[in-house]
Amino acid sequence: MENLSTPSLTLLWNQQYSIINPGQLEKIYNDESTLLAAFSADKQIDIISNGVNIWFGPYPTLSVMNAVFPGTAQQWLMLQLRELQDYLRINNTERLTHSQYVQLTGLIFREFYYLKVSELMYFFVLIKSLKFGKIFNKIDPLNIIEWLRNFLDEYRNPALDDGMNQIEADYIRWHDQDAVKGRDFNRELPAILSAKEDEQKKQEQPSGENTDAVLESAKALVNNTLGFSEDVVIAMCKSWAARYGCSPEEYINSHKE
């Protein structure tokens, strides 16, 4: 069997492990405020609710965030860390200092720049769940780095390995089926994947999400329940419309009983 360095398996992997590239990110989010709002800490549970999407969903990495909006990755990490300390009710005297924030977010970006925001949000949820041990009224920057490395070993790497095993199984199955039919699997793979994506889009409702959840998100934007500024709401409505093919108001009207 071919290995991952060959075009066929690489193509399969790229389809499975989807990442928002800089061009897509800039098109979806007009500015850093909209991007930060889309992945704010209060959305952690929603974003990780589909376990597979944590690893394979179309989310930006830290490096992609900074490629489009320089410094946004560190700013986003700082907001996540602040919310973590709020959640853990860390005393003011024991909270990270500005210097510690700057250094810690810089270190995280330097070593873990390839992680998606969804993966990091899952990481922060695991900390809140005490999966890396109890926390006694203090967040140690050294622990954060150590826990991230443990997160890779215990959660991320096994999940990606499982994904790769499934890809290899699909590769063998498709390759064997086409060999019997006398077809060139490697040459026809791009067309196979394209047809598969088209069929999946036909079967999905907008973005493949639950209708009730989409309706609630539309209402939240229309009513601005999170209290965003007017500019941020306008930008988020544009992104919403690009994603679902209509404005939030139109979606709400089309789903009235």
pLDDT at position 95 over 60: yes
Rounded Cα–Cα distance for residues 18 and 7 (Å): 16
- Residue-wise pLDDT for 161-188, tens only, equals 887 776 666 666 655 554 445 445 455 5
Quote the crossing angle between the two packed helices 230-244 and 211-223, to the nearest 10°: 150
* Amino acid (1-letter code) at residue 4: L
CB atoms within 10 A of CB 169: 10
Element (H, E) at 169: helix 157-181
pLDDT at position 117 over 90: yes
Among 61-70, 123-132, 196-205, 245-254, the minimum mean pLDDT is found in: 196-205
Residue of 60 and 160 predicted with greater confidence: 60
Confidence of residue 235 (pLDDT cuts 50, 70, 90): low
Confidence of residue 159 (pLDDT cuts 50, 70, 90): confident
Q: Which pLDDT belongs to residue 136?
A: 80
Single pTM value for the model: 0.64
Q: Do the Cβ atoms of 115 and 155 come closer than 8 Å?
A: no
pLDDT at position 133 over 50: yes
Which string of DSSP letters, residue by residue, matches 74-137? HHHHHHHHHHHHHHTT--GGGSPPHHHHHHHHHHHHHHHTT-BHHHHHHHHHHHHTTTT----S
Domain boundaries, the chain: 7-158, 211-254
- Residue-wise pLDDT for 32-53, tens only, equals 899 999 999 999 999 998 877 8
- Please give the C-alpha separations between residue 161 and each of 12, 27, 92, in angstroms, as whole numbers: 14, 31, 41
Q: Do the Cβ atoms of 121 and 44 come closer than 8 Å?
A: yes
Rounded Cα–Cα distance for residues 136 and 128 (Å): 12
Tell me 182's DSSP state.
Answer: T
